[in-house]
């Protein structure tokens, strides 16, 4: 197995990454949320390589990243609600699930998991923007980790999970948001639905729409909807106030647990949810690397970005 190269995200490296994508191979690159595992969204073999590298169920659709709202219009059918959200939050950590544009869309059906919809995002990270511009086509890119594992917020995280499974990693430093994008469905004859909480809070989306967002159905319509996801090797115990023998502690806010943890990290000692979101996956990985019997997690407010943080933690705790 050939070791994966990590290159600092210079113009030369980005140009090389675009050539790698054009050849049907895979590139990991930073977005403002987490690192993505990118392949040519038009190429069924490249999409299949993403699924293979991640060990990902084929019915779980992938997000197609594009450089602009205008390019998104070529791939999906946007109603007034979707257009309003795209104009307000793109580029940024929002994914819109809309009907696939049959006449102009190029995202392969495998990336759409055979669904009549497509998941689209315009990322804000400058490296992602430069790569999309250099490549000139949609890039299918789930998080750059093995399926079900903790999402990567640095190039080293990607290397640890996918070494030899991806040709090139563009190193753009630590990601800023730290949790995946919020996924919203805007489909005909249905209310706007929150399919996955993420980097944009529900209340901010509702403020732009002027309406309440509905919760998801039981159908898998977007990434991150499987019950067990983002899971470290150690078991995860939520809303803890103490630690048991050989447990690690993931705290939030001032204070600590009852008992002596094997290892301890605090997502945000000051109780800042944005800081907590940014640290979440990196801290889960760091604690898991200590090989604890479990990770006890402090209670986190279920509001704003806390909704996204708790969603990831509940999925990490599912067994």
Instruction: Give the residues of the chain that fall short of pLDDT 50.
Output: none
Are 164 and 243 found together in one domain? no
Q: Is residue 225 part of a domain?
A: no
Count of domains in the chain? Answer: 2
Give the Å distances, CA to CA, from 87 to 68, 73, 193: 10, 12, 18
Reduced to 3 states (helix: H, G, I; strand: E, B; else coil), residue 261 is coil
Are 29 and 84 found together in one domain? yes
Q: What H or E segment, with its residue span, contains residue 38?
A: strand 35-40
Domain limits for position 186? 5-209
111 φ, ψ to 5°? -65, -25
DSSP, res 221: -
Are 189 and 252 found together in one domain? no
Q: Rounded CA gap, 163 and 148, in Å?
A: 17
Q: Is residue 15 part of a domain?
A: yes
Q: Rounded CA gap, 142 and 113, in Å?
A: 13
pTM above 0.85, yes or no: no
In the Cβ-directed half-sphere of 16, how many Cα atoms lie within 13 Å?
Answer: 14
Q: Is residue 124 part of a domain?
A: yes
Burial label for 154, CB within 10 Å (0-12, 13-18, 19+), is buried
Are 197 and 243 found together in one domain? no
Contact 165, 173 (CB under 8 A): no
Q: Is residue 301 part of a domain?
A: yes
């Amino acid at each position: 197995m050939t070791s994966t190269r990590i290159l600092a995200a210079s113009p030369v490296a980005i140009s090389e990454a675009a050539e790698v994508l054009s050849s049907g191979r895979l590139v990991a690159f930073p977005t403002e949320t987490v690192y993505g595992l990118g392949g040519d969204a038009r190429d069924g073999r490249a999409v299949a390589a993403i699924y293979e590298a991640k060990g990902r169920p084929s019915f779980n659709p992938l997000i197609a990243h594009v450089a602009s709202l205008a390019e998104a219009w070529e791939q999906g059918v946007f109603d007034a609600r979707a257009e309003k959200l795209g104009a307000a939050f793109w580029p940024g950590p929002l994914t819109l699930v809309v009907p696939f544009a049959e006449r102009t869309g190029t995202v392969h059906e495998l990336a759409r998991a055979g669904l009549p919809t497509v998941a689209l995002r315009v990322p804000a990270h400058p490296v992602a923007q430069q790569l999309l511009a250099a490549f000139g086509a949609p890039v299918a890119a789930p998080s750059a980790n093995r399926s079900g594992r903790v999402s990567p917020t640095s190039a080293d995280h990607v290397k640890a999970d996918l070494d030899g499974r991806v040709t090139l990693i563009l190193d753009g430093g630590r990601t800023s948001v730290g949790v995946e994008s919020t996924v919203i469905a805007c489909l005909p004859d249905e209310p706007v639905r929150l399919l996955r909480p993420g980097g944009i809070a529900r209340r901010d989306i509702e403020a732009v729409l002027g309406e309440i967002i509905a919760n998801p159905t039981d159908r898998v319509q977007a990434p991150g909807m499987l019950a067990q996801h983002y899971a470290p090797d150690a078991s995860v115990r939520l809303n803890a106030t103490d630690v048991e023998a050989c447990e690690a502690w993931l705290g939030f806010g001032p204070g600590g647990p009852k008992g002596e943890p094997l290892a301890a990290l605090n997502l945000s000692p000051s109780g800042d949810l944005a800081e907590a979101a940014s640290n979440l996956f990196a801290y889960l990985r760091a604690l898991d690397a200590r090989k604890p019997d479990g990770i006890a997690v402090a209670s986190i407010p279920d509001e704003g970005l806390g909704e996204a943080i708790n969603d990831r933690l509940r999925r990490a705790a599912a067994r």
